[in-house]
Amino acid sequence: MTESVQDQLRRLMDGVGPGEDATPDMLELTGIVKRYGDFVAVDGIDLRVPRGEIFGFLGPNGAGKTTTIRMIAGVLEPTEGSVVIGGNDLATHPVEAKSRIGYIPDRPFLYEKLSGGEFLRFVSGLWGKDEPASEDRADGLLEIFNLLEWKHELIETYSHGMRQKLLITSALIHQPELIVIDEPMVGLDPRSARILKDLFRVYVERGGTVFLSSHTLEVVEAVCDRIAIIKEGAIIAKGTMDDLRTLVDSGGADLEEIFLKVTGNEDMAEVVAGLQDSSF
């Protein structure tokens, strides 16, 4: 009997769960501020994400989403506040904190003169995971994403979607407890996008946590357990879909309508609602 994609993912995701001494919160942001001169990009964010949750992080362009994500991943240093990953403060225990994260940025940067397989072995070595199990896990993910036959080809020959799938594979190779991902569906074909959604669910089922930012609101609504909306560097709404519907006093609102209302684009929300109700 052929193994299903979900069963393959469950097998490949074994081992991502936390240890016995794990803290209940996977991610804690306390008073996070990021300034560039007089400009405040992120303005005092407090946020807790428990283990085993897919958390969505939304906002208009320029709201501070990517800046926040880069601070979580340790790419940027906060001007003020603290980032704690699985109980490890990113400022005082950066190696321990970063080892718990798999980071997938919105613009993949890869070493183009390496083959896909060489790049994955390089990443495995960085995390001290250059063992046969990591190679098998990488091959399994590449196969699921229809990328295994390209394993020995140079990355410079890859399309944008292929690079995104390679980056997703590299972020999972060291079995992190938290995936931090910015615009996950960019460049992915419909099959790969569906696989990624399944991967998120299986990953959480196995004990992992996902922090997800995307402009594709239907994906966020479909997969996320809770959602925060940021505007001008501050969180203006947070909770489950039911919580957000209560906030905008609309029991039947979808995430797009909620997003437009809470970010101050109510006129656009009315246009969207009108189009949805039209006969065209």
Give mean pLDDT, residues 215-229: 92
48 and 127 housed in the same domain: yes
Determine the pLDDT at residue 252. Answer: 80
Average pLDDT over residues 211-222: 90
Query: Across the chain, what does the average pLDDT equal?
Result: 87
Does 129 have pLDDT greater than 80?
no
Q: Is the pLDDT of residue 116 over 60?
A: yes
Helices vs. strands in the chain: H and E counts, helices first:
11, 10
83 with 210, same domain: the answer is yes
| For residues 42-67, average pLDDT | 94
- Crossing angle of helices 116-126/132-144, nearest 10°? 140
Question: What does the pLDDT read at residue 1?
Answer: 42
Q: Are 249 and 223 in the same domain?
A: no
Residues 68 and 121 reside in one and the same domain: yes
Span 39-54, mean pLDDT? Answer: 95
| Unique residue bearing structure tokens 């904190």 | 97
Taking every pair of Cα atoms in the chain, the longest distance, rounded to a whole number of angstroms, is 62
27 and 161 fall within a common domain: yes
Query: Residues 252, 226: one domain?
Result: no
User: Burial, 200: exposed, middle or buried (Cβ in 10 Å; 0-12, 13-18, 19+)?
Assistant: buried
Q: What is the pLDDT of residue 150?
A: 95
What percentage of residues in the chain have a pLDDT greater than 70?
Answer: 91
Does this model's pTM top 0.75? My answer is yes
The pLDDT value given to residue 19: 66
Domain encompassing residue 235? 5-239
pLDDT at 14 over 80: no
pLDDT tens by residue, 241-251: 999 999 888 77
Higher pLDDT, 35 or 15: 35
Alpha helices in the chain (DSSP H): 5-12, 65-72, 94-98, 116-126, 132-144, 160-172, 190-205, 217-223, 241-247, 255-262, 266-277
Shared-domain flag, residues 159 and 191 = yes
Rg (CA), the chain: 19
CA distance 241 to 226: 7
pLDDT at 115: 96
Residue 87 has pLDDT above 50, yes or no: yes
Asked whether residue 86 falls in the same domain as residue 131, the answer is yes
Can you give the pLDDT at residue 3? 67
Q: Which two tokens stand for residue 74?
A: 């340790």
Give the pLDDT score at 2: 57
Among 10-19, 50-59, 134-143, name the one with the lowest average pLDDT.
10-19
CB 217 within 8 A of CB 259: yes
Residue 46 in contact with residue 137, Cβ under 8 Å?
no
Query: Above 80 in pLDDT, residue 225?
Result: yes
Of the pLDDT bands very low, low, confident and very high (cuts 50, 70, 90), residue 181 is very high
> Is the same domain home to 192 and 254?
no
Both 107 and 222 in one domain: the answer is yes
Q: What pLDDT, on the 0 to 100 scale, is given for residue 278?
A: 46
**What's 62's domain CATH number?**
3.40.50.300
Residues 137 and 157 in one domain: yes
What is the total count of domains within the chain? 2
Q: What is the mean pLDDT of residues 86-91?
A: 94
Please tell me the predicted confidence (pLDDT) of residue 268.
Answer: 47
Residues 184, 169 share a domain = yes
Please determine, for residue 272, whether its predicted confidence score (pLDDT) is greater than 70. no
Q: Measured between alpha carbons, how far is residue 209 from residues 76, 169, 213 in Å?
A: 21, 16, 13
